[in-house]
Structure 1
């Protein structure tokens, strides 16, 4: 795992199509219990070099019921975006993750994560790759009971850009978040 992470962090395969210098950002350990799979780092993550050290991360940690120390403990959480580098700005938000990243690295990484007890899937690109489904995030998130049984869950991206979705889908905070927090606390043996 150490060599694999070193190779990923020095990867420049996409440099010619990236808007900024390649800077692969991920968090992984073969000991992790919970895997978070997401989209791609945003510009703030690129600048800081730390996944989810922004408003999206604050919301995600709140949803999980964990603090920053727990969230950044690699024996508890691995964070694997679909693309490890900032893909650039698009028309309505950031560009999609660059597919080459997942094609080259994803299966190797996932094969190392043998202690994962629960997977949190954020956003449509992660859903497409991990679940091979094109259903809407709303549809998949509303099926949380079925997904929990499969030791995974689909969540909308915790970005402030999704405030409208959260307002329209108030069942999410009421029904899903308490169960999600209980599941995370059970797996991590938190009180």
Structure 2
């Protein structure tokens, strides 16, 4: 089993070795129905960070983050191509849990709780060029907005409090279609502003 990062001299590790250790992690192996397969994307030069929940089954099978209907909608929201989105020098993608946690009665299970404490802060510290972080869904909100103490809807509604460096977002899953219908202001107000900011960052 992989040692927790807190027990390793991780600050002395070269970036590529740190990433290799993350991708080889088996910390939660006994709790993962399909076994460990950490799915992340990052480079020290990335300007944008996408923080999701945890890989779904299709992402687990392909090893490509957001390679599913949720990813299709997310790329549409961001107005970026698959080529741009999967360029690690532009986009870092670090979900709250790196491995597929399995499925429960109402959808995928929450991210495994062992993952973020073990690896997250060390990886974030290696992304010095980030200009915008997209924080998607309740578990990402809880980590990146710990003082907000609001629901996902309220966090998203107060997006200007975090602009221009961070944007709280709902999950782009088709399961959230009802939320989007009830909150049309998100796609009418937030998305155009977000697209403009992303295009500026990608050009720079």
Q: Bin the TM-score by the shorter chain.
A: over 0.9
Shift of 1:38: 1.1
Match of 1:81 in 2: 95
Task: Trace 1:40-59 onto structure 2 (pairs within 5 A).
Answer: 40-59=54-73
> Aligned partners of 1:112, 1:137: CA distance in 2, in Å?
28
1:165 corresponds in structure 2 to 179
CA offsets, 1:134-162, max 9 Å, x none? 3111111111222214x100000100110
Structure 2 runs not aligned, ≥5 long: 1-14
In the alignment, is residue 5 of structure 1 matched against residue 5 of structure 2? no
- 2:195 counterpart (167, 181, 184): 181
Aligned to 1:64: 78
Partner of 1:93: 107
Residue aligning to 1:134: 149
- For residues 116 and 19 of structure 2, the distance between their equivalents in structure 1, rounded to whole angstroms, comes to 14
- Aligned counterpart, 2:117: 103
The alignment covers a number of residue pairs equal to 189
Match of 1:125 among 134, 139, 143: 139
User: Cα distance, 1:86 vs. partner?
Assistant: 0.3
SS of alignment partner, residue 49 of structure 2: strand
Q: Using the alignment, how far apart are the partners of 2:68 and 2:103 within structure 1?
A: 17
Q: Matches of 1:82 and 1:54 in 2, distance apart? A: 17
TM-score by length of 1: 0.96
How far apart, CA to CA, are the structure 2 residues paired with 1:143 and 1:52?
25
Normalising by structure 2, we get a TM-score of 0.90
Q: Compute the displacement of 1:29 (Å).
A: 0.7
- Once the two structures are overlaid, the 10-residue window that deviates more, 181-190 or 87-96, is 181-190
Q: CA RMSD in A?
A: 1.0
Cα deviation for residue 99 of structure 1 reads 1.3
Q: Matches of 2:107 and 2:35 in 1, distance apart?
A: 19
Could you list the per-position Cα deviations for residues 39-95 of structure 1 after superposition, in whole angstroms to 9, with x for gaps in the alignment?
000011001110001111110001111000000001110000011000010121111
SS at match of 1:99: coil
130-139 or 37-46, which deviates more = 130-139
Give 1:130 deviation, angstroms: 1.0
Aligned to 2:130: 116
